[in-house]
Structure 1
């Protein structure tokens, strides 16, 4: 299983740390909104307990919410033990982009049991590039402003999420 490099994992960890009630929305016009949700608990071979997160950009098209790109990640967060982002293990498990969906793993109940190494490597490359773009487009700066926004009727966020 290949995981995100430390720099990309740190970006993901910063998004996780901004979450409340299991979700986060970042509105950073003119770019698409970014959403992160904690979906469910799972188990990863070699790592044990993990949490599955969903990260996506979203927009409304013909009255429907469209997520593109959209990825699921299995995350083992050992930062409580040591405090550093180097203790955050982030493993992409699926990618939906440009109308195509790819899962690089097989699950049995709540446990990941096998991974397609070649496909997972492509998903890691995509996710690391996406994390760079999240930084480059100012999403983390928006969060750092620490000024939650009020959602309006054009936004697709939930009322429970922290929105920046």
Structure 2
């Protein structure tokens, strides 16, 4: 592992190469259910350090673009491109539950009304997860770190202009 001082001196491409190297599995082998759980617990410790999970239930009140335009309380509702959170569940992934953002409007909220001259688009952030697949032996699994793109919010943009 590179220490913080050395990491700051790396170029962007060197940092990206190092991150991808860290995601490569050491050896592709099948693990028992107990070993998979142990790996998930170890991964969970690192995940909690990053504090990536938010409480989605607080943000479930918003369901429509019009409702967001009227209420405008929380950040996700006050934005020009409001969003709501939902829990994405995948039993082959760890963590199984990840909170995803979903845009409430196709357009953007301008002066309290949706205007379709602009577009609401998701803002995505990379997240490292563990993916497990069954091996030929029904009681064993292959576990691999992989990077996924998680929608974390929405933003208002000008539409793409095609010539």
Output the TM-score relative to the length of structure 1.
Answer: 0.30
State the TM-score, normalizing by the size of structure 2: 0.30
Which structure is higher in strand share? 1
Give the number of the structure whose alpha-carbon radius of gyration is greater: 2
Q: Which has the higher contact order (CA 8 A, sep 6+)?
A: 1
